[in-house]
Amino acid sequence: MFVGDERPISLTIGTAGHVDHGKTTLVRYMTGTDTDRLEEEHRRGISIVAGYAELTLPGGRRASLVDVPGHERFVKNMVAGATGVDAFMLVVAADDGVMPQTREHLDVLRVLGIERGVVALTKTDMVDEEMIELAALDIEELLEATGTKAEVFPVSGVTGEGVDHLLAALDGLAGGNVHDGGAGDGRLARLPVDRAFVLKGIGVVVTGTLWSGEIRVGDFLYTTSGRRPRVRGIQNHGHPAEVAHAGARTAFDLAGIEADEISAGDVLLSRPVPETRMLDARLRLLETAKPLRHGVLVRLHHGTRDVNARVRLRDLDELPPGGNALTRLRLDEPLVIVAGDRFVVRSLAPQITVGGGTVLDPIPSERRPDPMWLEALESGDVAKIAPMALSRSPEDGMTTEELSLLLSVRPEDVESATIGMPEITKVGGFHALAKETKAAEQRLLSALEKRAKARPENPGLTIAEARVATGLSLRLADALMNEMPEEKASLTDSGIVLAGAGEAPPELVAEAEAVLQKLREAGHEPPAMESSPAVRLLLKNGEAAAIGDKLFAAKDAADEVLEEIKTICRKEGEISLGGLRDRLKTSRKFAQAWLEYADKEGVTVRTGDIRVLTRRHR
């Protein structure tokens, strides 16, 4: 039984080019796979959606071929297919030469940052040498005009002529490629969904190309809607597998999700990533585009999604052709997008590719773009960016995974860059500014000292009070308290207490014993007294009970009265103020206080002028 090749994909290659230039035929010859998988594609003879095939290169490496559609009406699908690839194979037919979609596809590849690739000059079996040379010159002029470096290979997808040389060139690209997708390093795994459907006997199935990380059978994933589907099965390029590596064309059999809860355009993630309606980016305009005005509405393509976006240029009225600028984009619909992602921008009328960009800050916190922050992000210098990132929300701290996502680097790169930095400290699982955590610790210790002085009988703070005292977010405050040295403070069942302040002072204990003796002697008619530290110590230790305003009784006396109330109610079915007053031979004031205490303790419940026992005491 074939169980699939578990080796990671070394190279994801996007084929691009004008309609009917022989992309699908060439891919079929190279891989044996027909990437025109829809009935409509076969009927019309053109590719409508991206097709996928696995290619074994001459050196034994695995590559994934993405055969993107060439017709001008399907450029949207071309963008979706080309996003996430490592290298291109631009296909130009020798009998046609460079055509409009050839240029636009090359523009899309450029703005997506796909700079390495080859050109396949196809259909050489249909023309003479002179036509081949003219087409090759046409291609070289296009490459020179766009600053693209790529070797041209005359080939035939029918006879196979020249294909060996083309494959050798692709093998060379794979040899210089690092496409491990962060396997095993904790990198975010992300799969933009291009198809979602129900397969009889299996259930919900989604397909897409895994952009990064790795996903295994049994993993629980996240959707943007908050669902947690489990991966029940995996196929890589149609073969069963236990793990999906970055770059692989993947199908997941999902459990725990309904068909109407996921669709094309959604994203499956190994951990939650917030959606955004606004992002800061470096936007680049193509040399052939018209000037881009500040405030113009464009169509932004990212992965398998496309949304309208409003362009907010920084300090510019318009961006000239070939220019670039730091730009804020406001999205009409939310997207899952992370730092370092590439996107394509197309005009709405006419619908043509005008540029693209690189995401710098996917969730900007400032009202206006901060150029210093964005330029730091653009530099990729983790040691420079990390302190700035933490200072933008100093009370919150950031996990290694959060910094990794923000900086678009591997988690271990975050750890290695921040370790030993004097301005950054690690508190629990959070990176934080050292000066901020030191100040927060001092605020907490000061609050504990103040509490110990004011309330020696109960010197600790509750966790909620301690969080407020630190001035930090809940999660960072808890991490700080958990790592507090015992010589400074320690956690208790009820909160946190200053070191050495856990036991009541001997003089307070002696005072409390004297008060307790007085209360015991008073019985069910205790004297009025203030809530002093001694009284509060008795309450804390369970030796006294608060029965009314400035009325405190010994706990054993309070228990006796409650038992008396229960006895009366069980015998008479109820108890009144007068009835308790007469039974205790006391005043109305004390009878009233004791009945209210019984209500508070859940022994009785008031009904008009009488009380009856609650159900658990009957």
pLDDT tens digit string along 452-471? Answer: 877 877 788 999 999 999 99
Cβ contacts of 187 within 8 Å, gap of 6 or more: 181, 212, 213, 404, 410, 411
pLDDT of residue 223: 94
pLDDT band at 6 (very low <50, low <70, confident <90, very high): low
β-pairing verdict for 87-93 and 117-122: parallel
Cβ contacts of 40 within 8 Å, gap of 6 or more: 48
Give mean pLDDT, residues 105-109.
Answer: 84
pLDDT of residue 69: 53
- In this predicted structure, the answer to whether residue 42 has a pLDDT above a threshold of 80 is no
Share of the chain above pLDDT 90, in %: 55
pLDDT of residue 7: 59
98 versus 249: which is more confidently predicted? 98
Centre a 10 Å sphere on the Cβ of residue 564 and count the other Cβ atoms it contains: 17
Is-contact 499 490, C-beta < 8 A?
yes
The DSSP line for 436-500 is: HHHHHHHHHHHHHHHHHHH-TTS-PBPHHHHHHHHTS-HHHHHHHHHT--TTTEEE-SSSEEETT
Is-contact 99 21, C-beta < 8 A?
yes
pLDDT band at 182 (very low <50, low <70, confident <90, very high): very low
Q: How far is CA 84 from the centre of its chain?
A: 19
pLDDT band at 98 (very low <50, low <70, confident <90, very high): very high
- Single-letter code of the amino acid located at 87: A
Q: Which helix (H) or strand (E) holds 80?
A: helix 75-82
Cβ contacts of 38 within 8 Å, gap of 6 or more: 48, 49
Gap between the Cα atoms of 232 and 522, Å rounded? 72
Tokens coding 128 = 């003479």
Q: Which helix (H) or strand (E) holds 281?
A: strand 276-285
Residue in this structure with the two tokens 């994934």, named with its chain if needed: 64
- Single-letter code of the amino acid located at 405: L
Gap between the Cα atoms of 556 and 80, Å rounded? 76
- In this predicted structure, the answer to whether residue 38 has a pLDDT above a threshold of 60 is no
Q: Mean pLDDT, the chain, as a whole number?
A: 86
Find residue 195's DSSP bridge partners.
Answer: 207
pLDDT of residue 50: 45
pLDDT of residue 420: 85
277 versus 9: which is more confidently predicted? 277
Gap between the Cα atoms of 149 and 329, Å rounded? 31
pLDDT tens digit string along 323-375? Answer: 999 999 999 999 999 998 989 899 998 888 899 999 999 999 878 888 899 99
Gap between the Cα atoms of 151 and 499, Å rounded? 73
Tokens coding 153 = 């290979």
Closest by Cα among 66, 380, 372, 315 to 192? 66
Is-contact 229 220, C-beta < 8 A?
yes
Centre a 10 Å sphere on the Cβ of residue 239 and count the other Cβ atoms it contains: 13
Gap between the Cα atoms of 524 and 540, Å rounded? 20
pLDDT tens digit string along 247-261? Answer: 777 889 999 999 999
369 versus 30: which is more confidently predicted? 30
- In this predicted structure, the answer to whether residue 308 has a pLDDT above a threshold of 90 is yes
- HSE at residue 49, side-chain half, CA atoms within 13 A, is 12
Gap between the Cα atoms of 222 and 229, Å rounded? 7
Gap between the Cα atoms of 207 and 250, Å rounded? 6
- Single-letter code of the amino acid located at 442: Q
Give mean pLDDT, residues 45-50.
Answer: 34
pLDDT of residue 17: 85
Strand locations in 297-402 (E): 297-302, 305-313, 318-319, 324-335, 342-346, 353-361, 398-399
Q: Rank 7-21, 50-64, 66-80, 101-115 by mean pLDDT and report only the highest.
A: 101-115
- In this predicted structure, the answer to whether residue 197 has a pLDDT above a threshold of 50 is yes
Query: What's the maximum distance between 2 C-alpha atoms anywhere in the chain?
Result: 124
pLDDT band at 41 (very low <50, low <70, confident <90, very high): very low
Cβ contacts of 257 within 8 Å, gap of 6 or more: 204, 223, 227, 229
For the full predicted model, state whether its pTM sits above 0.75: no
Tokens coding 220 = 């629980």
Q: What is the CA radius of gyration of the chain?
A: 36
Is-contact 387 414, C-beta < 8 A?
no
Cβ contacts of 450 within 8 Å, gap of 6 or more: none
Give mean pLDDT, residues 507-529.
Answer: 89
pLDDT of residue 255: 95
Give mean pLDDT, residues 185-210.
Answer: 86
Q: Rank 68-77, 105-114, 185-194, 326-335 by mean pLDDT and report only the highest.
A: 326-335
Tokens coding 268 = 């499956």
pLDDT tens digit string along 565-577? Answer: 999 999 999 999 9
Q: Which helix (H) or strand (E) holds 379?
A: helix 371-379
Share of the chain above pLDDT 70, in %: 90
Give 553-557's long-range contacts (Cβ < 8 A, gap of 24+): 553/519, 553/522, 553/523, 553/524, 553/526, 554/516, 554/519, 554/520, 554/522, 554/523, 554/526, 556/520, 557/519, 557/520, 557/522, 557/523, 557/524, 557/526
Q: How far is CA 32 from the centre of its chain?
A: 39
